[in-house]
Copies of this chain bind each other. A is one copy, B any other.
Amino acid sequence: MPEILLTGFQPYGGRQLNPSAEIIRALDGTKIAGCSVRGMLLPVSFKAAQQPLEDAIAEHRPTVVVSAGLWPGEPVIRLERVAVNRASFEMPDNDGQRPLDENVDPGGPVARAVTLPVGKIIPALRAKGIPARTSDTAGTFLCNATLFRALGACERAGTGARCGFVHLPYLPQQVAELLDELSNEGRLELHQRADLASMCLDMMLDAVGTILTLSLDPS
């Protein structure tokens, strides 16, 4: 019985919400193209986020593993192509840890390539009217580290699982709150901000559903 493993992150950086957590809340326990979705909410912790994910891959041997995360300011659905073996956090994680220029896995390769059918997914998303693009960097924060470790775990599981990462824009209400906060604090110098784009949850869910459906299809 094939299974999808879909992970998201808890809120971080002082934010109330994380769109990837909302995705998990909505899709955990549902079926997509006849396949059960196991949702998994990861802590925003360099130390604690990785092992549970690797264990889940080893134990449940999912057919498809997709992690989702927030990229503040990203205006479109963004599908990653590659994860690098580097952790250099621009801000502390929720444990207060901030690795700088470390390896995610000291014994690992320089990078790992995503195994989702990205070239099939992007045109399908756009054909549905969903703005989407590929990306060749998942950053060096926890999103990248998670993708790097998940790809390694899938390799070790030897199941041929397809594994990748989708970066999500802010939810609209997050930008509404951000504008209010900045304004109240006298810091709303809009010309300094590149992070006011957002996407509604329904469109994100449609996007993630499409990504999972096409990733299940071996053709």
Contact status of A176 and B136, CB under 8 A, knowing A75-B197, A198-B199: no
Contact status of A136 and B72, CB under 8 A, knowing A110-B113, A126-B176, A177-B126: no
Complex Cα distance A172/B132, Å? 10
Contact segment of A37-45, A54-62, A82-90, A210-218: A82-90
A199 touches B172 (CB 8 A): yes
Q: How far is the CB of A207 from chain B (nearest CB, A)?
A: 10
CB-nearest residue of chain B to A175: B131
A203 within 8 A of B: yes
Contact segment of A3-11, A24-32, A158-166, A182-190: A182-190
Chain B residues, CB < 8 A from A129: 172-173, 176
Chain B residues, CB < 8 A from A88: 134
Complex Cα distance A109/B84, Å? 12
A176 touches B90 (CB 8 A): no
Contact of A98 among B71, B137, B186 (CB under 8 A): B186
A193 touches B196 (CB 8 A): no
A140 within 8 A of B: yes
Contact of A84 among B13, B76, B111 (CB under 8 A): B111
Chain B residues, CB < 8 A from A82: 84, 86, 110-111
Given contacts A72-B191, A86-B136, A90-B188, 19 further A-B contacts (CB under 8 A): A73-B192, A75-B75, A75-B196, A76-B179, A76-B196, A81-B86, A82-B110, A88-B134, A90-B186, A101-B119, A109-B110, A126-B176, A126-B177, A126-B180, A129-B176, A131-B172, A137-B137, A192-B193, A198-B199
A contact residues vs B (CB 8 Å cutoff): 13, 71-76, 81-82, 84, 86, 88-92, 98, 101, 109-113, 119, 123, 125-137, 139-140, 144, 172-173, 175-177, 179-180, 183, 186-200, 202-203
Cross-chain pairs A/B with CB under 8 angstroms, 18 sampled: A73-B192, A75-B196, A75-B198, A81-B84, A82-B86, A88-B134, A90-B188, A90-B189, A110-B112, A126-B176, A130-B176, A172-B203, A191-B194, A191-B195, A192-B193, A192-B195, A194-B194, A197-B197
